[in-house]
Chains A and B, each alone.
Chain A
Amino acid sequence: MNKVVTYFFDEYRKQRNARLFKNLLYVFLVVKCLLWLFNFDILFGEYAVSLTYKEPIGFFKSFAYIIYLSKSSNLALWFICTTLLLSLVSLFGKRSYVLADLIIYLLVLNLDIRIYTTTTAGESLLVNLCFLSAWLRKDFNKGIGTYDQIKVLLHNTAFIALILQVCVLYGFSALAKWYDADWISGEAVYLTTKAEHYSRPFMVNIADPIHFLTVAVTYILLLYQSLFPLLVWIKKIKPYFLLIGVLMHLYIAFVLGLFFFGLIMVITYVLFFDFKTHADVKA
């Protein structure tokens, strides 16, 4: 019991991971905001592709549907600009601002709900990550007051929650795959490669000659996702294990076209990386 209390209250854990993760998340949000602005007309403007329904929404839900229910696209513009500004300030600021992070979370949630037909699992994950990372710190000055203790507790709890989020995501996804005939037969990657909307013309053309390779990749992916929550903790293989994951998600981002999902998953890998301490470097 003492060990648990010490872990949560003693000090800010995984400081370098937390700082880098938060900064990469802000960079990601800046890129997302710019893409929202470049494609404003088809997402929020005159040619918005996501149909909206004027149906009653509960009181709490309405906080996530502010843009969805709004008749003016100017509100979306304000939300994007505010997200962009807050992300830039938080990225270059040395301190952490919980309130600013929570506002970013609420704005991103609203923006993603308005463009629901264009979103992928990456957007759902981003919203969760925004909420959890709001409690992480970038500054680690530890005082002795109750407020300081709460900040340490929130930071350490949020870090563990983020790790769990990634493990649960892989676990859930792997479980669904074990129940799917295409994954068990080894055809899933082949089918995805042949699907024009999840592939590129050159991949569609070479899918048949490399069929044996797609079968091997299917089983590797199935094992990778299933074993991720266990193998990611073995220090000797961790760097190689994470490297495989990064390559897999870059492929998802740039070949499958699930850009935001692929990149956000790469960013979450920062949470698992073991940075060398000064003692390691000396040794």
Chain B
Amino acid sequence: MSYCNPYFYQDWRMFAPGTRYNYSIYAVYEVNGQKHYSFPIQEVLSDRNIFSGREFLNTSLTDASIFVHNTAVNVSGELYKFNKDKYYQIFEHINIQYLQKKHDSKIKNLKLMLCATHIQTKKKTYLVNE
């Protein structure tokens, strides 16, 4: 990827290929020494309209998920490892910023897991750090 061009996964092809997965991000982190859990995509989708800014977050989180999913490395079966490339850095940054905005505070020790559910077969794929 050269800087940011192009990042929107659908670009000029407009849904060709279309989307095949639903994504969930599971985040574990600490705020002021306390452990927290969060599901950024589902939280954004629950209150989604253009004026709340949630559409911006929805596009960021889901496109970043698609990119890291496409570049993940298979460990065994349905378990994959994040490829620590620029796509992952972007994915991690979006989640950090979203969570810091949510708590209005710095977060520490963030661990992320991405779950991709195939829309037709319902088969789940898990992406983890280690």
Contact = CB atoms under 8 A, between A and B. Distances in A.
B50 A35 contact: yes
A119 B101 contact: no
Given A115-B56, A121-B10, A51 B50 contact: no
Nearest to A57: B3
B22 interface: yes
Contacts of B90: 50-51, 117
Contact of B4 (A43, A50, A191): A50
A225 B13 CA distance: 11
B57 A42 contact: yes
Interface string A123-151: 11000000000000000000000000000
Given A173-B13, A259-B55, A53 B3 contact: yes
Given A38-B51, A42-B53, A180-B17, A121 B12 contact: yes
Contacts of A51: 89-90, 93-94
A120 interface: yes
B119 A191 contact: yes
A188 B58 contact: no
Nearest to B46: A201
B56 A176 contact: no
Interface stretch (B28-36, B59-67, B68-76, B77-85): B59-67
Given A42-B97, A117-B60, A124-B6, A257 B55 contact: yes
Interface residues of B, number: 46
A68 B100 CA distance: 21
Interface in B81-106: 86, 89-90, 93-94, 97-98, 100-101
Interface residues of A, number: 48
A41 interface: yes
Contacts of A123: 8
Interface string B1-40: 0011111101111111111111100000000000000000
Nearest to A256: B15
Given A42-B56, A42-B101, A118-B60, A192 B15 contact: yes
B41 interface: yes
A89 B62 CA distance: 37
Nearest to B93: A51
Given A169-B12, A173-B14, A117 B64 contact: yes
A195 B64 contact: no
A215 B40 CA distance: 32
Nearest to B59: A118
B7 A198 contact: no
Interface of A: 35, 38-39, 41-43, 47-51, 53, 55, 57, 65, 68, 113, 115-121, 123-124, 169, 172-173, 176-177, 179-183, 187-188, 191-192, 194-198, 225, 257, 259
Interface of B: 3-8, 10-23, 41, 45, 48, 50-51, 53, 55-60, 62-64, 86, 89-90, 93-94, 97-98, 100-101, 119-120
19 contacts: A35-B53, A47-B100, A65-B3, A68-B4, A117-B4, A118-B59, A119-B7, A121-B10, A123-B8, A124-B8, A176-B13, A179-B16, A182-B16, A191-B18, A191-B119, A196-B41, A196-B45, A257-B55, A257-B59
Given A119-B59, A124-B11, A177-B15, 16 more contacts: A47-B98, A49-B60, A49-B94, A49-B97, A50-B94, A51-B94, A116-B5, A119-B7, A124-B6, A176-B14, A180-B16, A192-B15, A192-B18, A194-B119, A196-B41, A197-B23
